[in-house]
Structure 1
């Protein structure tokens, strides 16, 4: 069994499209049939002055922290500090990067696999150092992920593509389980069809799947969206009764650049 740890750069994730992320899904990824989670750390900022003065903010912060703890995460807080320049302008700072890096390096001696959630290129050197201890480092990010960070990691996947990690807007009711996010792996522009790659969780292990799509099932007005492999789409996977119940992607909509 691989001893696995999760380290979440919560402020970066929140500001980069991961707000509302399901932490229990991360725990499931760490507790797969081949690995077991031995540590989960979440590094976040808290405005202590606001916590004391604003009851609504305090309630939201405490509720958020309780969710993390219930999922098995240890919370490492960095309190917001305020600085005033010569012109009287106030800036705030609460950076937990150093805390995350030191903890990961110290704890790596007892780990085999690390799941790091961030898009911050400042962690490039940390990833290499962790790999040099023998750890496998898997990076999950959302928007604005540093290109070199993707390349240096042992694996990188967009958090948008992990089933259930970030709920799909409007995916409710009986059709909720049909909705997926994926990327184009092949597109025939002349004939207007192609294939998406998406993922399913099987025994908490990400399994790659492919599904056929046709432009007639898209909400988009142009086929140029499908000519780039780094774009993420949302769609329903359905069995088409007019095509021998073959699985197809319907209601295709563009989400973002991967």
Structure 2
């Protein structure tokens, strides 16, 4: 493996983000972490929504890496990447896609799965990359104190 990238959008104003420990671990362990601020908006129903699309960043990095690597692996099921996979293949590069069909609906777009040179279902990798739930660290979240709590 030459390089591993991780793409995510972050909400800037949050004091704590549940994804921050993951980002820090990846950054300390050799991944190139690519982030950008997430956009917050209110939809027509008045619900708060967060949008953080990293498709363009991933596509540009993949096309740049295609100049020096012969095999790219994309962990995504987003059908928007089908065109990227086609472009990489036209450059003579092999593309593997990792996602899953085990969910309902499947997390991989059919067009993307068909276009990839190889499709790996995450389920088939579970024994190699998965952890037993009993091995996971228990997180203690402090309970908010009520206004009438004694000090």
> Any idea what SS the aligned residue of 1:116 has?
strand
Check the 8 A contact 1:112/1:136 in 2, yes or no. yes
Match of 2:10 among 28, 31, 46: 46
1:3-22 matches, within 5 Å, as: none
- Specify the alignment match of 1:12 in structure 2: none
- Specify the alignment match of 1:110 in structure 2: 68
- Specify the alignment match of 2:57 in structure 1: 99
Q: TM-score, normalised by structure 2?
A: 0.75
CA displacement, residues 193-221 of structure 1 (integer Å, 9 cap, x when unaligned): xxxxxxxxxxxxxxxxxxxxxxxxxxxxx
- Specify the alignment match of 2:96 in structure 1: 138
Within 2, Cα distance between the matches of 1:170 and 1:85? 39
Please, what is the CA RMSD of the aligned residues? 2.1
> Any idea what SS the aligned residue of 2:66 has?
helix
Check the 8 A contact 1:114/1:137 in 2, yes or no. yes
| Runs of 5+ unmatched residues, structure 2 | 136-151
Match of 2:78 among 111, 120, 124: 120
1:106-255 matches, within 5 Å, as: 106-142=64-100, 143=103, 144-162=107-125, 163-169=127-133
- Specify the alignment match of 1:74 in structure 2: 32
Which structure's residues are more often strand, by fraction? 1
Check the 8 A contact 1:44/1:76 in 2, yes or no. yes
Check the 8 A contact 1:84/1:90 in 2, yes or no. yes
Would the alpha carbon gap of residues 131 and 85 (structure 1) be closer, same or farther in structure 2, given more than 3 Å must change? same
| Runs of 5+ unmatched residues, structure 1 | 1-36, 172-258
Q: CA deviation at 1:169?
A: 4.6
Q: CA deviation at 1:170?
A: 6.2
- Specify the alignment match of 2:149 in structure 1: none
